[in-house]
């Protein structure tokens, strides 16, 4: 991920409420913004011990505004998903979605 916090993963278990609060435990496989799967190759490698191709998020710039929406307890603990990253910048939707889908 290229952004104000290089390599910063940004997720939740997906059970937070409508105000965006997270449960006490952050699930690194879930997006902290929508609760959906973040398909992070780096987390898959950690969880499985199997090498993965570079994660799609290493090729995307996340704005400071988007990163600021990540709850503090989830910062640097799990990645924002491709859908949330693309929704902030519609011009990158196709390339972000394509890269992320190759890791599913």
Highest mean pLDDT among 2-6, 19-23, 92-96, 97-101: 19-23
Residues contacting residue 1 through CB under 8 Å, at least 6 positions apart: 7, 8, 9, 10, 55, 57, 58, 60, 62, 79
The lowest-confidence range among 28-32, 69-73, 88-92 is 88-92
Whether residue 95 is predicted with pLDDT greater than 90 in this model: the reply is no
Q: Which residue has the higher pLDDT, 58 or 90?
A: 58
Neighbours of 50 (CB within 10 A): 8
- Determine the Cα angle at 33 with ends 27 and 38, to 5°: 55
Give the pLDDT score at 23. 52
CA 35 to chain centre: 10
Q: Tokens standing for 13? A: 């278990």
Q: For 62-85, what is each residue's pLDDT tens digit?
A: 899 999 999 999 999 989 999 999
Q: pTM for the whole thing?
A: 0.61
């Amino acid at each position: 991920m290229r952004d104000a916090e290089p390599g910063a993963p940004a997720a939740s278990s997906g059970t937070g409420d409508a105000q965006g609060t997270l449960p006490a435990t952050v699930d690194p496989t879930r997006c902290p913004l929508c609760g959906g799967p973040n398909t992070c190759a780096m987390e898959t490698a950690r969880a499985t011990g199997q090498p993965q191709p570079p994660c799609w998020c290493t090729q995307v710039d996340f704005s400071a505004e988007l990163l600021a929406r990540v709850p503090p307890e989830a910062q640097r603990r799990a990645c924002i998903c491709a859908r949330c990253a693309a929704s902030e910048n519609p011009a990158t939707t196709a390339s972000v979605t394509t890269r992320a889908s190759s890791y599913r």
